[in-house]
């Protein structure tokens, strides 16, 4: 006897009056409280052996939440040995939580009593009925909708209050201990009810409601970033987990991160390519109406068990595409604008870290390369913690116009200079379409990922150059342990490089040698708090001035030598000599 037959016979035995209609078992609900004139609702159980949700039962009157046979057996007091899927050796998942004596039960009663047709009409806009809203006990406090977060003990100790139609306007109500982390799972009791079966994981309470309206079980987190709070051990005894998030690359990355923890039981639902960015289940339900169930079913059917590995077909196609794209090209990466540098590095790709003593011109060097790349329509994000946005822009205008900062401020320029300045402004305006300067000192890897994604979306490019000025001034959680912070950032850069097709330019400080002097020896030991630079950098370069940056007036030519100290693919050695043309902030290759 196969599993579907076991389930069918189990329900037929324990539910009086059961009948089979196609792929469903139907019977009077054994849990409904029927009065003398009232009939119990209809219990429906899926017995289709091809369905991921085979065995799932629910009452059409929503007298109790639905679930799978193990949950049904507990409700009915059936000997677990008789329940299909029972494992006597299963170790239950136990959380070390002491629940408070006071719950939100009085508040929930009060808030649900304030619900009117105006609030229910809001849910009807995306196809969710009053019955589905009442089932999860959503309430109203006079301005905000109140979504109680029930825990495994059946009580809610926290609720999220959301302004209808403005999900960003929200706050938490109740016990502060339950506002964060592992407690941010909406409809948590569903996990126990779905033991031995399947359920959805989604973002946003309303998106989950659209699925519950269809009769599907599931849980939700407030936002896609909160998927990381889900403990995969808590979902060990669920056979199939369908993850559906909004139609955005960063959301898909979060879904993949969760699926990686869950393993092959996870399936990420994919959106059609023609749908707009940010499209979600609520929008799909509003758009499809009665066809919403069919649309979700098709997404389920198209889903595949998650694998952290790229399919052989995709790998084969990717290798051939890369070969074809680079056929006939001198460089594997993007051009820096400097011939010798391009030759030494085979083009700009990967993580390129450059060190140098103070005032050597490191920032100016990368400003020139990055704005030249942006001029050639390569998207660039310049993370600046050294100079300020206006200084970067002004120095770029100086270089483009061949005018000093002082000259650009003149009211009356001669015709030739005015013409150069006008052309420079037009060229700079074009550059800004692909060039972004970010000075946010609250930057973290997640924000960086999102900003890269936004710029790629805005410019319709699938590659990006990121400049970090400088590595030692990136925000760290623990300022006292900068070495660990640097290593952590380098690990994230490696991941971003590979996952989002990003080339990095990173400025690093150098260590002082004996006597407080900077070494002239171009090697990896020169980098300050080098940490994992040795392992992370695709190319490690050092810019050494051949002039005295402390006394620039005494030196006629401001020339610096750029050395390749280490490289994964290229031979270390001298790259070239670069002359800084002051006051135009422009480097030329000697």
Mean pLDDT of the chain: 89
The pLDDT, as a whole number, for residue 317 is 78
pTM for this predicted structure: 0.62
DSSP 25-88: EEEE-TTS---SSPPP-EEEEE--TT-TTTT-EEETT-SS--B-HHHHHHHHT--GGGSTT--T
Average pLDDT in the 22-27 region?
92
The pLDDT, as a whole number, for residue 37 is 46
Among 442, 441, 438, which residue's Cα sits nearest to residue 454? 438
Q: Quick one: pLDDT band at residue 521, thresholds 50, 70, 90?
A: low
Among 225, 179, 224, 177, which residue's Cα sits nearest to residue 202? 224
The pLDDT, as a whole number, for residue 428 is 95
The pLDDT, as a whole number, for residue 36 is 47
Beta-strand pair 573-581/435-438: unpaired
- CATH architecture type of domain 3-82: Alpha-Beta Complex (3.90)
Average pLDDT in the 489-515 region?
86
Q: Quick one: pLDDT band at residue 310, thresholds 50, 70, 90?
A: low
What's the token pair of residue 130? 């009053």
Q: How many CA atoms lie within 13 A of 331 on its CB side?
A: 17
DSSP 344-377: HHTSB-SEEEEE--TTSSHHHHHHHHHHHHHHTT
Tens digits of per-residue pLDDT, 216-264? 999 999 999 999 989 998 999 999 999 999 998 889 889 988 998 898 8
The answer on pLDDT for 29 being more than 70 is: yes
- Please give the Cα distance from 528 to 483 (Å, whole number): 9
The answer on pLDDT for 273 being more than 80 is: yes
The pLDDT, as a whole number, for residue 190 is 95
The pLDDT, as a whole number, for residue 211 is 97
Q: Quick one: pLDDT band at residue 553, thresholds 50, 70, 90?
A: low
Q: Quick one: pLDDT band at residue 529, thresholds 50, 70, 90?
A: low
Q: What is the largest CA-CA distance in the chain?
A: 105
Average pLDDT in the 399-413 region?
90
Segment among 18-22, 101-105, 213-217, 484-488 with least mean pLDDT: 484-488
Q: What are the two backbone dihedrals, phi and then psi, of residue 188, each rounded to the nearest 5 degrees?
A: -55, -35
Tens digits of per-residue pLDDT, 181-208? 889 999 999 999 999 999 999 999 999 9
3-state secondary structure 245-314: CCCCHHHHHHHHHHHHHHHHHEEECCCCCCCCCCCCHHHHHHHHHHHHHHHHHHHHHHCCECCCCCCHHH
Q: Quick one: pLDDT band at residue 574, thresholds 50, 70, 90?
A: very high
Tens digits of per-residue pLDDT, 49-104? 999 999 999 999 999 999 999 999 999 999 999 999 888 877 766 667 888 989 99
The answer on pLDDT for 453 being more than 80 is: yes
Average pLDDT in the 519-534 region?
68
DSSP state of 572: -
Superfamily of domain 354-589: P-loop containing nucleotide triphosphate hydrolases (3.40.50.300)
Question: Is residue 96 exposed (0-12), middle (13-18) or buried (19+ Cβ within 10 Å)?
Answer: exposed
Average pLDDT in the 567-575 region?
91
Tens digits of per-residue pLDDT, 96-143? 788 898 999 999 999 999 999 999 999 999 999 999 999 999 999 999
The pLDDT, as a whole number, for residue 320 is 78
Average pLDDT in the 560-588 region?
92
Give yes or no for a contact between 490 and 536, defined as CB atoms under 8 angstroms apart.
yes
Q: Quick one: pLDDT band at residue 450, thresholds 50, 70, 90?
A: confident
Q: Which residue has better confidence, 490 or 533?
A: 490
* CATH (residue range 105-302): 3.40.1360.10
| For the chain, domain boundaries | 3-82, 105-302, 354-589
Give yes or no for a contact between 298 and 314, defined as CB atoms under 8 angstroms apart.
no
- Please give the Cα distance from 525 to 320 (Å, whole number): 39
- Please give the Cα distance from 203 to 225 (Å, whole number): 9
Q: Helices 389-401 and 362-375 sit at what angle, rounded to 10 degrees?
A: 70
Q: Which residue has better confidence, 488 or 44?
A: 44
- Please give the Cα distance from 303 to 270 (Å, whole number): 7
């Amino acid at each position: 006897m196969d599993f579907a037959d076991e389930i069918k016979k189990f329900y037929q035995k324990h539910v009086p009056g059961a009948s089979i209609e196609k792929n469903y078992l139907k019977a009077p609900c054994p849990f409904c409280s029927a009065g003398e004139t009232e009939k119990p609702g209809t219990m429906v159980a899926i017995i289709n052996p091809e369905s991921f949700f085979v065995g799932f039962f629910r009452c059409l009157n929503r007298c109790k939440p639905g679930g799978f046979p193990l949950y049904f057996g507990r409700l009915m007091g059936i000997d677990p040995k008789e329940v299909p899927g029972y494992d006597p050796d299963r170790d239950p998942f136990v959380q070390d939580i002491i629940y408070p004596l006071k719950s939100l039960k009085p508040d929930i009663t009060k808030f649900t009593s304030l619900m009117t047709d105006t609030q229910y009409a809001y849910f009807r806009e995306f196809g969710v009925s009053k019955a589905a809203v009442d089932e999860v006990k959503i309430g109203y406090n006079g301005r905000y909708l109140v979504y109680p977060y029930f825990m495994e003990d059946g009580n809610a100790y926290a609720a999220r209050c959301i302004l209808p139609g403005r999900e960003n306007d929200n706050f938490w109500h109740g016990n502060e201990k339950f506002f964060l982390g592992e407690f941010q799972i909406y409809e948590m009791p569903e996990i126990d009810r779905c033991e031995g079966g399947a359920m959805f994981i989604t973002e946003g309470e309303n998106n989950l409601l659209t699925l519950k309206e269809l009769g599907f079980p599931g849980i939700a987190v407030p936002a896609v970033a909160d998927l990381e709070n889900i403990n995969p051990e808590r979902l060990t005894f669920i056979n199939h987990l369908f993850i559906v998030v909004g139609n955005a690359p960063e959301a898909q990355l979060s879904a993949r991160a969760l699926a990686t923890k869950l393993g092959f039981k996870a399936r990420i639902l994919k959106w059609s390519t023609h749908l707009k960015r940010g499209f979600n289940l609520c929008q799909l339900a509003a758009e499809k109406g009665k066809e919403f169930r069919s649309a979700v079913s098709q997404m389920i059917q198209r889903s595949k068990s998650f694998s952290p590995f790229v399919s052989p077909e995709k790998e084969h196609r990717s290798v051939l595409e890369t070969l074809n794209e680079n056929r006939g090209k001198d460089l594997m990466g993007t051009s820096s604008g400097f011939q010798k540098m391009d030759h030494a590095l085979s083009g700009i790709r990967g993580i390129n870290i450059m060190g140098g003593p103070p005032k050597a011109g490191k920032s100016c060097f990368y400003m020139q390369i990055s704005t030249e790349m942006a001029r050639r329509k390569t998207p660039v994000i310049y993370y600046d913690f050294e100079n300020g946005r206006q200084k970067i822009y002004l120095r770029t205008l100086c270089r483009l116009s061949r005018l000093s900062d002082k000259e650009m401020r003149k009211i009356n320029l001669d015709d030739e200079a005015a013409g150069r300045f006008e052309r420079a402004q037009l060229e700079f305006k074009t550059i800004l379409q692909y060039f972004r300067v970010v000075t946010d000192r609250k930057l973290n890897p997640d924000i960086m990922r999102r900003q890269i994604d936004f710029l790629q979306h805005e410019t319709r490019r699938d590659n990006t150059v990121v400049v970090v000025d400088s590595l030692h001034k990136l925000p760290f959680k623990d300022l006292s342990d900068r070495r660990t912070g640097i290593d952590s950032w380098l690990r994230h850069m490696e991941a971003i490089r590979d996952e989002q097709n990003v080339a990095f330019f990173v400025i690093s400080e150098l260590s002082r040698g004996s006597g407080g002097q900077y070494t002239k020896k171009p090697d990896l030991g020169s980098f300050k708090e080098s940490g994992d630079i040795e392992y992370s950098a695709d190319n490690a370069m050092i810019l050494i001035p051949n002039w005295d940056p402390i006394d620039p007036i005494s030196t006629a030519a401001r020339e610096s030598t750029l050395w390749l100290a280490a490289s994964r693919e290229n031979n270390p050695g001298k790259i070239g000599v670069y002359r800084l043309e002051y006051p135009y902030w422009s480097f030329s290759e000697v």
